[in-house]
């Protein structure tokens, strides 16, 4: 049995609609569309204008997403009411640390509890891969994401990496 068979968050009711989150190939049609939407949103916010298709394509090229497969990582897709609505990944940085990456919930599905479920499943996936600590980096302007991480037990940590879009770092013991 591979990790795609082992991990799943059962449907969680939210009114008449429910979330179902499962590991999925990063290049499935739904995962690819979610990754494009993620990059479109974060790039547009950074650029303070809508990102072009060319800019989105450029951002997705060589982004390392292929590492989000066991044993180096995992990618998860969440469906809300049967529609692809969220995604995220976990990448093993070393034997004990995993990095949370590409956390995204489509705007129409925000506020329904999916982001917390997604974080929980990704933390479980990191544990399965051997991680004892989760880390992440983000930008200061992504205030909703930062608030989500803090609500779920992440605390600010010293920088563990550098780069143009890395402005604040968080960590959490996975126990």
Q: Determine the length of the chain.
A: 175
Position 159 in a domain: no
Count structural domains, the chain.
1
User: Domain range spanning residue 66?
Assistant: 3-133
- For the chain, give the mean pLDDT: 91
Supply the pLDDT for residue 15.
Answer: 52
Position 100 in a domain: yes
Position 143 in a domain: no
The structure's pTM equals 0.88
Q: Is the pLDDT of residue 59 over 60?
A: yes
Q: What is the 3-state secondary structure (H, E, C) of 13-81?
A: EECCEEEEEEECCCCCHHHHHHHHHHHHHHHHHHHCCCCCHHHHHHHHCCCCHHHCCCCCEEEEEEEEC
Position 8 in a domain: yes
């Amino acid at each position: 049995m591979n990790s795609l068979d082992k991990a799943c968050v059962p449907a969680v009711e939210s009114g008449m609609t429910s979330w179902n989150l499962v590991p999925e190939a990063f290049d499935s049609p739904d995962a690819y569309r979610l990754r494009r939407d993620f990059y479109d949103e974060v790039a547009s916010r950074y650029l303070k204008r809508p990102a072009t298709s060319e800019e989105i394509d450029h951002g997705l090229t060589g982004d390392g997403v292929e590492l989000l497969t066991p044993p180096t990582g995992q990618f998860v897709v969440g469906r809300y009411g049967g529609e692809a609505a969220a995604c995220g990944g976990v990448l093993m940085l070393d034997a004990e640390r995993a990095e949370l990456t590409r956390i995204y919930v489509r705007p129409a599905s925000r506020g329904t509890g999916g982001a917390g479920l997604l974080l929980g499943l990704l933390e479980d996936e990191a544990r399965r891969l051997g991680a004892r600590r989760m880390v992440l980096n983000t930008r200061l302007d992504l205030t909703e994401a930062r608030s989500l991480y803090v609500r779920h037990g992440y605390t600010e940590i010293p920088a563990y990496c550098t780069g143009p879009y890395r402005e604040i770092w968080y960590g959490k013991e996975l126990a």
